[in-house]
Structure 1
Amino acid sequence: MGRWRKVKQGKIESIKKEKEEILESVKSLQCAPVTLRLKALLTDTFMITMPVLYIVIYLVMGDREGFKEHMGQGWLIILTVHMIITLAFWKLKAQTPGMKAYDLYLIDPQTDEKPGIVKLVLRYIMLQTSILSFFGILLPFIMKDKKGLHDLVSGTCIVYKP
């Protein structure tokens, strides 16, 4: 039975209950499985990081030797550009291309909305720290709610919404 017919027949209460049930199910969203998040990260590595690496090494630094001579400067440029691109995707769409491929969204679990810029920057910095540390890599496999160090520190969560 269509919504209009329900309203017409005075069954508006059932519609309110349906909306409450939908909202309750959205609030009970848990963090996405670690495997999906890893697949999204790998996809983002090839879709975002590899082009940035190529552009910096061959167009900005000239060639591999130029990059080798100024490696610190090169990596600073790469990380800065990568951070700007990633933060832009998170802020505008709440997902990177890899996350979009696997129906993942970045949310603030307290509000079920996109996180603010401070949380996003903190998440990005802690994500890089997590990738470099043994503890940060193992934490999502140990935690019951599957959150990583970057999720815990920034107060964010990646959820699966097909």
Structure 2
Amino acid sequence: MAEVQEKLEYVGFWARVGATIIDSILILIIIFPILTAFYGTAYWESENIVEGPMDFLLTYIFPMVAIIAFWLMKQATPGKFAISAKIVDAKTGGEPSIGQCIIRYLAYFLSTIPLCLGFIWVAFDSRKQGWHDKIAGTVVVRPKKRDSEVKFE
């Protein structure tokens, strides 16, 4: 394990922002047309927080299920794949548990509430952990650039 850890690095703030942008775009590509087909173009002019059950399902439940499923199956979302990163247990370096994944997702809300400080924390933390990582006991890692022969399967 120590040999593998020497070939990995913690993933920093800007790379993780890029991964989040990729994930957000992919989710929007999926849900925008469905919401428009279901509610019509008036949906985009509405001031309601939630237009109905399908809106709630697509806007809140679908992203949660999809992200947690990716974390459990591949330890990464498509955005993290794009930057060769994955989520691991902070203590063992192994796969995170289902409990860690659920806690990590729910802790996103805590990281967001105070002006996104929980996410910004990644830029200043020695292990590049956001508050959601610290709460869930996870870290985000990838192969070091000079050791690019280390690949995740």
**Which protein is richer in helix relative to its size?**
1
Distance 1:142 1:33, change over 3 A: closer
TM-score, scaled relative to structure 2: 0.78
Partner of 2:151: none
Distance 1:53 1:79, change over 3 A: farther
CA distance in 2, matches of 1:75, 1:133: 26
Partner of 1:4: none
Question: For each residue in 1:74-121, what CA deviation from the matched residue of structure 2 results, as whole angstroms up to 9, or x when unmatched?
Answer: 653211000111111111111111111110011112222211111101
TM-score, scaled relative to structure 1: 0.74
Q: C-alpha root-mean-square deviation of aligned residues, in Å?
A: 2.2
Moved over 6 A (4+): none
Between 1 and 2, higher relative CO (CA 8 Å, sep ≥ 6) is seen in: 2
Q: One-letter code of the match for 1:145? A: R
Distance 1:50 1:136, change over 3 A: farther
Is the counterpart of residue 117 in structure 1 residue 98 in structure 2? yes
- Unaligned segments of structure 1, at least 5 residues: 1-22
Preserved CA contact (<8 Å) 2:19 2:83:
yes
Preserved CA contact (<8 Å) 1:49 1:82:
no
Distance 1:24 1:34, change over 3 A: same
- Unaligned segments of structure 2, at least 5 residues: 149-153
Is the counterpart of residue 87 in structure 1 residue 68 in structure 2? yes
Preserved CA contact (<8 Å) 2:13 2:120:
no
Q: Which has the larger radius of gyration?
A: 1
2:10 is paired with a residue whose SS is: coil
Is the counterpart of residue 47 in structure 1 residue 47 in structure 2? no
2:141 is paired with a residue whose SS is: strand
Is the counterpart of residue 76 in structure 1 residue 53 in structure 2? no
2:87 is paired with a residue whose SS is: strand
1:106 is paired with a residue whose SS is: strand
Q: One-letter code of the match for 1:133? A: P
Please list, as runs of the form range in 1=range in 2, the aligned pairs for 1:1-162 lying within 5 A after superposition: 23-28=1-6, 29-55=8-34, 57-60=35-38, 62-66=39-43, 68=46, 71-72=49-50, 73=52, 76-77=56-57, 78-134=59-115, 135-161=117-143, 162=148
Question: For each residue in 1:109-151, what CA deviation from the matched residue of structure 2 results, as whole angstroms up to 9, or x when unmatched?
Answer: 2222211111101111112432343222321123222210100
Preserved CA contact (<8 Å) 2:128 2:139:
no
Size of the alignment, in residue pairs? 138
